[in-house]
C-alpha cells in the first residue's frame, strides 16, 4: 500500500470499468470528466453506476456453482462507501449490508433494506445501537467480547426478544497488509482470541436471550493473495467441527471482506478465483450446508470512483515542484494516513511541459499530500482525477480547516446525478453556539 516509487502507474484498464480515455480526454461512461468538474465544481467525487453493477455482478456470479446452486451471499461493507444512492444500487442488485454503527443501520433502514439482510459488526456497539438493531430485527450481531455478549443478552431480555449472534474469531494470521488495516493478529483489538472461542461459545449457549447462529472472521483489508484467507478459514472450520461435536450447531459462516484492488501495481486474484478457493475448501471439508456470507467493501466500489480536483497553483521549487490543488487530506485521507498510492491523471490533454510534482492540498499540514513525485503535464486551472477513490474516500472525509465536504455524483450512461450536495460553510457553522454574554 506504500507510495509507489514510479512516477505514475495506473490501474489496469480492465480494473477501471466505467472509465475510458478518448483523444487524451478521460470519460466516465459517456461523459467527459472535465465537463462534470465544470458543471458541479471541485473537489467532486464521481462514481460510475456501470462499474458498481459490474463489480457486484462479478461477485454474484462467483457465488454460484456450476450447477447453479447459490454458495454464498454478498453483504456490502457500508463503511467503504455509505452514500444512500450507492447502497440503494446494491440493494436493488440483491445485496445485504455489513454495518458497524447505528448511523450505518439508519442508512440501511432509510433505503428500505430488509432487516434480515443486515449484519451488525463492530468492537464497541453501544446499548442504544444494540437496542435499535434488536428492535428492527437484524439478521445477526457479530460479537467481539464476553462483555458485549452479556450486554446484548441483557438488552434482549429487557425487550423480551432473542438476539441472533455470531462470534468474531481472531484467527491470529498475518494478512500481510498495512498494519492499520490488518485485523486478524492476536495483538489487534478485533475479535475473540482463537484459543478462547470455544469457551466463549459455551458461555453464550448459557445466556437465556441469545441464539447462536454463526461464526465470523475478518483478517484485514487490501489483501492481494488468497493464502492468508485459506489459513484463517482452516482455523475457523476447525472450530466449527469442534462446536458441532459439542452440540452447538451453526447456520452460517461469515468470511468478512478484504479482497484488494489494483491501485496501480497490485495484482489481486480475480473474484471468482478468490471465492472458488474459499468455497471449494469449505465444501471439501464437508461444510457445504453452511450459509456463507462475504462482506466486500473496497472491491465493490474502489475502482468505480474518482475524486476530481482543480489545480490552484503550480509552485516550482529548487528541490521539489508542487502542484497545489483544491482537494486535500480532509477530502481523501488515505495518502496522509497510510501513505496510500492513488494514481493521478490530467483529465484533458494540454500543451504544458511534463514535470515531476508533489500533488498537495491547501490544508496546513505537511502530511496533506495526495501524490508524490508524479509526472504530469499541467497548468493552473486544469482538472485532475485521483483514481481508485470510490472506497474509503468520501466516507473518511472530515471538515478539518473548516472545509465543507465535497459533493458526490453518480453517472449512469450519459446522465449525471447529484447524490450528495456539496456542504456549505453556513451548514457547518449552524451547529455551533457562542457562550451566553456575561452581564
CB atoms within 10 A of CB 248: 17
Instruction: Pick between residue 197 and residue 299 the one whose CB is nearest to ligand LLP.
Output: 299
Closer Cβ to ligand LLP, 174 or 427, answer by number: 174
Query: Under rule CB under 6 A, which residues in 297-336 are in contact with ligand LLP?
Result: 297-299, 334
**Of the residues 11, 184, 256, 390, which one makes contact with ligand LLP according to CB under 6 A:** 256
Among 29, 104, 144, 295, binds ligand LLP (CB under 6 A): 295
Site for ligand LLP in 416-435 (CB under 6 A): none
Question: With CB under 6 A as the contact rule, which of the stretches 3-11, 233-241, 292-300, 413-421 interacts with ligand LLP?
Answer: 292-300
The stretch near ligand LLP (CB under 6 A) out of 17-25, 267-275, 295-303, 323-331 is 295-303
User: Taking contact as CB under 6 A, which single stretch among the options 251-259, 267-275, 312-320, 372-380 is the one that binds ligand LLP?
Assistant: 251-259
* Contact residues for 359 (Cβ-Cβ < 8 A; gap 6+): 322, 323, 325, 344, 369, 370, 371, 372, 374, 376, 384
Interface with ligand LLP (CB under 6 A), residue from 80, 165, 311, 376? 80
- Coil, strand or helix at 26: strand
**Closer CB to ligand LLP, residue 291 or residue 312?**
291
Q: Compute the least distance from the CB of residue 340 to ligand LLP, in Å.
A: 7
DSSP calls for 259-282? B---SSS--PPPHHHHHHHHHHHH
Give the residue, chosen from 17, 77, 308, 323, that forms a contact with ligand LLP under the rule CB under 6 A: 77
List the beta bridge partners of residue 192.
169
State in angstroms the smallest separation of the CB of 99 from ligand LLP: 10
Choice between 145 and 355, CB closer to ligand LLP: 145
Distance CA 122, CA 105 (A): 12
Query: Would you put residue 58 in left (φ > 0), alpha (ψ -120 to 50) or beta?
Result: alpha
The Cα 437–Cα 439 span in angstroms is: 6
Query: Taking CB under 6 A as the criterion, which residues in 107-126 touch ligand LLP?
Result: 121
> Please, which residues have CB within 8 angstroms of residue 412's CB and are 6 or more apart in sequence?
29, 49, 50
Phi and psi angles of residue 71, each rounded to the nearest 5 degrees, phi first: -110, -15
Does position 141 interact with ligand LLP (CB under 6 A)? The reply is no
Q: Are strands 31-32 and 192-193 parallel, antiparallel or unpaired?
A: unpaired
d(CA 10, CA 341) in angstroms, rounded, equals 10
Rg (CA), the chain: 23
CB of 260 to ligand LLP, least distance (A): 7
* Catalytic entry in 25, 63, 217, 364: 364
Is residue 148 near ligand LLP by the rule CB under 6 A?
A: no
Give backbone dihedrals phi and psi of 419, rounded to 5 degrees, phi first.
-110, -5
Q: What angle do CA 411, 91, 110 make, to 5 degrees?
A: 95
Round to whole Å and give the CA distance between 194 and 334: 31
Binding mask 350-389 for ligand LLP (x = CB under 6 A): ----------------------------------------
CB of 26 to ligand LLP, least distance (A): 23
Q: Is 43 in the site for ligand LLP (CB under 6 A)?
A: no
Contact residue for ligand LLP among 73, 139, 209, 218 (CB under 6 A): 218
d(CA 405, CA 211): 42
344 makes contact with ligand LLP (CB under 6 A) = no
> Using the rule CB under 6 A, is 166 a contact of ligand LLP?
no
Phi, psi of 165 (to 5 degrees): -130, 155
Applying CB under 6 A, does 98 fall inside the site for ligand LLP?
yes
217 is catalytic: no
Q: Does 138 bind ligand LLP (CB under 6 A)?
A: no
Give the residues across from 21 on adjacent strands. Answer: 26
Where does this chain bind ligand LLP (CB under 6 A)?
A: 77, 80, 98, 121, 181, 183, 218, 221-222, 256-259, 295-299, 334, 391-392
Positions marked catalytic: 364
Amino acid at each position: 500500500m506504500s507510495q509507489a516509487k514510479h512516477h505514475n502507474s495506473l490501474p489496469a484498464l480492465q480494473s477501471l470499468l466505467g472509465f475510458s480515455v478518448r483523444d487524451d480526454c478521460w470519460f466516465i461512461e459517456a461523459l467527459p470528466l472535465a465537463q462534470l468538474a465544470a458543471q458541479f465544481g471541485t473537489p467532486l467525487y464521481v462514481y460510475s453506476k456501470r462499474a458498481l453493477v459490474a463489480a457486484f455482478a462479478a461477485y454474484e456470479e462467483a457465488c454460484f456453482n456450476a450447477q447453479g446452486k447459490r454458495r454464498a451471499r454478498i453483504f456490502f461493507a457500508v463503511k467503504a462507501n455509505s452514500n444512500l444512492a450507492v447502497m440503494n444500487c446494491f440493494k436493488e442488485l440483491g445485496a445485504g449490508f455489513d454495518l458497524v454503527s447505528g448511523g450505518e443501520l439508519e442508512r440501511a433502514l432509510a433505503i428500505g433494506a430488509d432487516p434480515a439482510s443486515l449484519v451488525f459488526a463492530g468492537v464497541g456497539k453501544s446499548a442504544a445501537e444494540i437496542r435499535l438493531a434488536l428492535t428492527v430485527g437484524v439478521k445477526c450481531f457479530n460479537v467481539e467480547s464476553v462483555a458485549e455478549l452479556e450486554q446484548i443478552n441483557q438488552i434482549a431480555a429487557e425487550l423480551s426478544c432473542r438476539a441472533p449472534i455470531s462470534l468474531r474469531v481472531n484467527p491470529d494470521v498475518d494478512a500481510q497488509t498495512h498494519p492499520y488495516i490488518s485485523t486478524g493478529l492476536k495483538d489487534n483489538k478485533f475479535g475473540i482470541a482463537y484459543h478462547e472461542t470455544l469457551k466463549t461459545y459455551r458461555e453464550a449457549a448459557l445466556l437465556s436471550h441469545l441464539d447462536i447462529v454463526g461464526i465470523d472472521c475478518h483478517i484485514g483489508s487490501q489483501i492481494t493473495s488468497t493464502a492468508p484467507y485459506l489459513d484463517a478459514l482452516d482455523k475457523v472450520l476447525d472450530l466449527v467441527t469442534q462446536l458441532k461435536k459439542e452440540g452447538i450447531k451453526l447456520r452460517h459462516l461469515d468470511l468478512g471482506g478484504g479482497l484488494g484492488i489494483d491501485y496501480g501495481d497490485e495484482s489481486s486474484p480475480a473474484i471468482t478465483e478468490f471465492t472458488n478457493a474459499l468455497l471449494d475448501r469449505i465444501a471439501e471439508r464437508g461444510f457445504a450446508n453452511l450459509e456463507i456470507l462475504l462482506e466486500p467493501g473496497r472491491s465493490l466500489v474502489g475502482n468505480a470512483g474518482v475524486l476530481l480536483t482543480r489545480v490552484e497553483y503550480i509552485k516550482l521549487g529548487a528541490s521539489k515542484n508542487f502542484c497545489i490543488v483544491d482537494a486535500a487530506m480532509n477530502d481523501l485521507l488515505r495518502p496522509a494516513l497510510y501513505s496510500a498510492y492513488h494514481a493521478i491523471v490530467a483529465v484533458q490533454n494540454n500543451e504544458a511541459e511534463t514535470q515531476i510534482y508533489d500533488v498537495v492540498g491547501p490544508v496546513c499540514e505537511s502530511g496533506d499530500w495526495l501524490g508524490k513525485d508524479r509526472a504530469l503535464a499541467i497548468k493552473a486551472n486544469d482538472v485532475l482525477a485521483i483514481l481508485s477513490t470510490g472506497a474509503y474516500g468520501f466516507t473518511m472525509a472530515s471538515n478539518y480547516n473548516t472545509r465543507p465536504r465535497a459533493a458526490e455524483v453518480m453517472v449512469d450512461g450519459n446522465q449525471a446525478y447529484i447524490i450528495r450536495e456539496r456542504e456549505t460553510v453556513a451548514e457547518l457553522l449552524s451547529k455551533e453556539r457562542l457562550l451566553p454574554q456575561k452581564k
